[in-house]
Structure 1
Amino acid sequence: MDEVLRLDAVGQAQAVREGLISPRELVEAAIAKIEAHDAEINAVVHPRFERALAELDGLPEGAPFRGVPILVKDLGWGQAGEPYRAGSRTFDGVEVGEDAHAVTSLREAGFVILGRTNTPEFGTTITTEPVAYGPTRNPYDLAYSPGGSSGGSAAAVAAGMVAVATASDGGGSIRIPAGMCGLVGLKPTRGRSSYGPASGEAWSGMSTLGLLSRTVRDTAAVLDLFTGYVHGDPYDAPGLPGPLEAEVGADPGRLRIGFVAEHPREDVPGDPVPAAAVTAAATLLEELGHEVTPSRPEALAEPDFALHFGAIVATNVAAEVENIGRWRGKPVDLAELEPRNQAMARAGRDRSAVDHILALQWIDGFRRRMAAWWADHDVLLAPTLGIQPFPLGWLPPDDLSTAFGRTGPAVAFTSPFNATGQPAISLPLHRTPAGLPVGVQLIAAAGREDLLVRLAAQIEHARPFDHAAMR
């Protein structure tokens, strides 16, 4: 049974179709794995095992992932009749009335949802240590963070509880946990996935839905299920030539790849660990026949980016706090929030509507300045996390100056692409001397997930990913 759980989701679905295992046996094995190991990892904050087992009789016949277990992030992935907490105590008593479009797509594909995964409060930081549920631990070293905000999903997949889990990314929240837990994490193009019907967008369009997996083919096949424009969405991504699953194994051709190992701004401290990961990846890409040169968008060095990005996030946090009060029928006292979100909500409330629009307009210009680089290049290679893996507690919740100061360099290569809306994928290609995973990131022009999947699959074939943390 353990051998089947070590398969990726595509492999598990095939095993079910071929009669090697029944959906019930597969789901029960995944539940047993969670029950055996989650006490030490703390990835699953809302198990729904009994409901999942009861749903097995109604699985759609012929569905591509019939009977395959999955976990969903407890942020942005609403499920009818289930609690929604977003890592916060302020949501106590709130229950979702209808499935998100993306959740409906997973159910129609035959996935069985086993529970909801841990996330930092409102997803506003890069580690998963909410006061409401306690820290999620990295399966590679339990003293270390799995990243955030999709840290619960990443830890569950890395530990082998499920083959895939859903995620979202507003500043690196898919890619950073993927990098820190040795997984594949693709942030799609803005508008590729729908936040409906509950929302039109998240973080003023900077957040997108996605997933975490152990293989490129899982990432492609599962993204195909829930990506696509839904009537009423505020954005629509450029069309793809076909299913992403069909791009796995397709020849990417000889690509023009620029790489940057350290941040171009002199005031952002460098780190030898992510720099070494990028340098090694650049060598691999050269060996695969690509044209690889040191190059990056000039706009990455602009010092005002972090100011405007942070201001937009703060305004959105303030709006979320206001909405929570309406949903639960009682205004939120800021003292109910963790210190980080207290500060962000206050900052957001202090900003005017004009301030918010001006920040968005600055980002509009930044997006165009960044896009110009892709006129002469196909892909940018960069670190995923701008620093080396960090332990739990490294971002002190009561010392915001230290926490925010450390977060800035960490997200230097992720948040810019939330602002531009471009697709980016993190791949597990490096390890620290202590064996902790270090991801590298590939970024393409808007709408070019197909190119990223082709290149990522070529890399995976040449350098198969090692998933040493599986329980």
Structure 2
Amino acid sequence: MRNVDYEKLDGLALADLLARKEVSSAELMTCAIDLARSRGAALNAISYERYDESLVIARTWTPRGPFGGIPFLLKDTAVAHVRLPTSSGSRLLRDTTYARNATLADRFESAGLIPFARTTVPEFCMAATTEAACNGGPTLNPWDPTRSPGGSSGGAAAAVACGIVPVAHGSDGGGSIRIPAAACGVYGLKVSRGRLPMGPFRGEGWGGLASDGVLSRSVRDTAAALDATCGYEPGSPYAAPPAPDSYLDLIKRAPGPLRIAVWRQAWNDIPVAAECVAAVDHAVELLRAAGHELIDSAPPELDYDALVQSHADMLSANIVVSVDTRLGLTGKALQDDDLEPVMRNGYDYGKTISTSQYIGAVGRFHAVGRILDAYMQDYDLLLTPALTQLPPKLGYLSMREGTYLDFRRKIARYGTFAAIFNATGQPAASLPALWTESGLPVAIQFVGRFGREDLVLQASAQIEQVQPWAHRIARPASQA
């Protein structure tokens, strides 16, 4: 198979070719590796490459699951895999290895997804951009190399957008799937809390804020991946409501007329760029044409600054745990160059967090969940801008200078519509709705009630049907 043919197809289309024996897993892996070596390198999106051994595995792969045996990328984060070390974007955590796979890694492989490398992330996955010193420089947005690809799943979003793989692993603790999906023009779903397993090494991430998932070029690939990987893991502290028999089957038919709330403004008068509002307006037109009821609304009243502070407190406490655990294992003291400056400040700040602050943060997340749950009782879905501005220039969210709290507040003005739904645990998806004259994607966000990924996916598929985006492949200038 030629690269130009490979890059045009989503995961299920590649799986269909495999099932009809028109192509082999090894041929697909060869294409993915070739594109990773060219486009992935040009964008600095790939880490921990295991190309040769993955090609050997692909040659002897037994077809399985909905994807048969297609190339796949794992994010450089806490989903453990015996063949792929991790760094979580940190020099301190570089080359962390595992004796066994995470439950989700095993489910990915059972679905027919063959991991052959990791994708780049910011340090500790705690930024809305992907500019880690650990990676030797920033990861670039495939549509404009002067801009951020988002974060923390920035490498994954860039890899999907430029055709290296049609679907890649991501995780989301404050918008880390949806922000890069928006910045790179691909589809990104954050599932309901408890929908996907996080074990066996941990029960939750960031006090229940974080969840894993995928980024993809088609809604159906995300639906198929969710079908293959969702389900309660024994011992998990959370459980989502029962899933339907098949999300993939559901998106093949339109939902009944939905009542959809529409937000165009943010808390605290945070500015929302005209392009982002225009994307929402365009989606409103498409959804009305599909028979849905769209109701202009305003975000419910809540203390947004307090939520941002609680999110910062939770993340800083997790910085301390990550750093101190590593130092305890190595027996070394923390060195000046172990952490980037903002994360070092976050570590120092985390050392000051009291038990009452930590418990207060969890309590605030739960309170926000109650506020949004009460608000959503009047609606089937919520439509918002995915971001408050276009993808910023590289360096705008740098970890090289400033304080940790200022850094978190800056992110909160960019991903304003993202982290709140990590607090509530609701499903939310980012999808491209418009493209600027210069070729940048502008995304919207669908949010469902807790456990209602079905409606989020169905509404996303309706937008995709009338305005598809999977054919848009970003080709770095040097690799076009």
Deviates more, 1:6-15 or 1:327-336: 327-336
Counterpart code for 2:247: L
Alignment match of 2:472 (pick from 464, 467, 471): 467
Q: Post-superposition shift, 1:38?
A: 2.2
Q: Which residue of 2 aligns with 1:343?
A: 345
User: Which stretches of structure 1, 4 residues or more, deviate above 3 A after TM superposition?
Assistant: 299-303, 326-335, 401-405
Question: How do residues 282-431 of structure 1 correspond to structure 2 at under 5 angstroms?
Answer: 282-299=284-301, 302-333=304-335, 335-400=337-402, 403-431=407-435
Deviations for 1:428-453, whole angstroms, at most 9, x for unmatched residues?
11122321111100000000001111
Q: Which residue of 1 aligns with 2:264?
A: 261
Question: Residues of 1 paired with 2:287 and 2:95: CA distance?
Answer: 51
Question: Residues of 1 paired with 2:188 and 2:129: CA distance?
Answer: 16
Question: Residues of 2 paired with 1:439 and 1:245: CA distance?
Answer: 23
Q: Post-superposition shift, 1:105?
A: 1.0
Q: Post-superposition shift, 1:404?
A: 3.9
Q: Post-superposition shift, 1:406?
A: 2.8
Alignment match of 1:179 (pick from 178, 182, 187): 182
Q: Is the 8 A contact 2:283 2:463 kept in 1?
A: no
Q: What is the DSSP-based 3-state SS (H/G/I as helix, E as strand, rest coil) of the residue aligned with 1:336?
A: coil
Q: Is the 8 A contact 1:299 1:370 kept in 2?
A: no
Q: Which residue of 1 aligns with 2:50?
A: 48
Q: Is the 8 A contact 1:158 1:469 kept in 2?
A: yes
Question: Residues of 2 paired with 1:39 and 1:57: CA distance?
Answer: 24
Counterpart code for 2:239: D
Question: Residues of 1 paired with 2:292 and 2:95: CA distance?
Answer: 54
Q: Post-superposition shift, 1:58?
A: 4.2
Q: Which residue of 1 aligns with 2:158?
A: 155
Question: Residues of 2 paired with 1:210 and 1:315: CA distance?
Answer: 24
Q: Post-superposition shift, 1:97?
A: 1.6
Question: Residues of 1 paired with 2:364 and 2:37: CA distance?
Answer: 48
Q: Is the 8 A contact 2:84 2:118 kept in 1?
A: no
Question: How do residues 48-87 of structure 1 correspond to structure 2 at under 5 angstroms?
Answer: 48-87=50-89
Q: Is the 8 A contact 2:25 2:61 kept in 1?
A: no
Question: Residues of 2 paired with 1:440 and 1:462: CA distance?
Answer: 15
Q: Post-superposition shift, 1:300?
A: 5.3
TM-score (norm 2): 0.94
Question: Residues of 2 paired with 1:193 and 1:333: CA distance?
Answer: 36
CA, structure 1 residues 281+419, in 2 after alignment: closer, same or farther (shift >3 Å)?
A: same
Question: Residues of 2 paired with 1:139 and 1:370: CA distance?
Answer: 35
Deviations for 1:138-165, whole angstroms, at most 9, x for unmatched residues?
1111111110000000101100011111
Q: Which residue of 2 aligns with 1:230?
A: 233
Q: What is the DSSP-based 3-state SS (H/G/I as helix, E as strand, rest coil) of the residue aligned with 1:132?
A: helix
Say yes or no: does 1:27 pair with 2:29. Answer: yes
Q: Post-superposition shift, 1:25?
A: 1.0
Say yes or no: does 1:455 pair with 2:459. Answer: yes
Q: Post-superposition shift, 1:214?
A: 0.3
Q: Post-superposition shift, 1:299?
A: 3.5
Question: Residues of 2 paired with 1:294 and 1:261: CA distance?
Answer: 8
Q: Post-superposition shift, 1:28?
A: 0.8
CA, structure 1 residues 374+240, in 2 after alignment: closer, same or farther (shift >3 Å)?
A: same
Q: What is the DSSP-based 3-state SS (H/G/I as helix, E as strand, rest coil) of the residue aligned with 2:320?
A: helix
Deviates more, 1:459-468 or 1:113-122: 459-468
Counterpart code for 2:67: F
Counterpart code for 2:415: V
Q: Which residue of 2 aligns with 1:440?
A: 444
Deviates more, 1:365-374 or 1:402-411: 402-411
Q: Post-superposition shift, 1:303?
A: 3.5
Counterpart code for 1:289: G
Alignment match of 1:239 (pick from 216, 239, 242): 242
Q: Post-superposition shift, 1:398?
A: 3.1
Question: Residues of 1 paired with 2:16 and 2:119: CA distance?
Answer: 26
Structure 2 unaligned spans of 5+: none
CA, structure 1 residues 30+333, in 2 after alignment: closer, same or farther (shift >3 Å)?
A: same
Q: Post-superposition shift, 1:62?
A: 4.2
Q: Is the 8 A contact 1:101 1:196 kept in 2?
A: yes
Q: Post-superposition shift, 1:170?
A: 0.4
Deviates more, 1:428-437 or 1:215-224: 428-437
What percent identity do the matched residue pairs reach? 37
Deviations for 1:163-203, whole angstroms, at most 9, x for unmatched residues?
11100000000000000100000000001111111111111
Deviates more, 1:242-251 or 1:122-131: 242-251
CA, structure 1 residues 338+54, in 2 after alignment: closer, same or farther (shift >3 Å)?
A: same
Question: Residues of 2 paired with 1:331 and 1:139: CA distance?
Answer: 39
Alignment match of 1:36 (pick from 35, 38, 50): 38
Question: Residues of 2 paired with 1:387 and 1:300: CA distance?
Answer: 22
Counterpart code for 2:275: V
CA, structure 1 residues 186+40, in 2 after alignment: closer, same or farther (shift >3 Å)?
A: same
Question: Residues of 1 paired with 2:228 and 2:427: CA distance?
Answer: 17
Question: Residues of 2 paired with 1:447 and 1:296: CA distance?
Answer: 23
Alignment match of 1:191 (pick from 184, 189, 194): 194
Q: What is the DSSP-based 3-state SS (H/G/I as helix, E as strand, rest coil) of the residue aligned with 2:168?
A: strand
RMSD value over aligned CA atoms? Answer: 1.7
Q: Post-superposition shift, 1:53?
A: 1.3
Q: What is the DSSP-based 3-state SS (H/G/I as helix, E as strand, rest coil) of the residue aligned with 1:400?
A: coil
CA, structure 1 residues 444+50, in 2 after alignment: closer, same or farther (shift >3 Å)?
A: same
Q: Which residue of 2 aligns with 1:169?
A: 172
Q: Is the 8 A contact 1:101 1:226 kept in 2?
A: no
Deviates more, 1:148-157 or 1:72-81: 72-81
Counterpart code for 2:54: A
Structure 1 unaligned spans of 5+: none
Q: What is the DSSP-based 3-state SS (H/G/I as helix, E as strand, rest coil) of the residue aligned with 2:138?
A: coil
Question: Residues of 2 paired with 1:250 and 1:274: CA distance?
Answer: 28
Q: Is the 8 A contact 1:94 1:327 kept in 2?
A: no
Deviates more, 1:339-348 or 1:229-238: 339-348
Question: Residues of 2 paired with 1:3 and 1:174: CA distance?
Answer: 27
Q: Is the 8 A contact 2:85 2:96 kept in 1?
A: yes
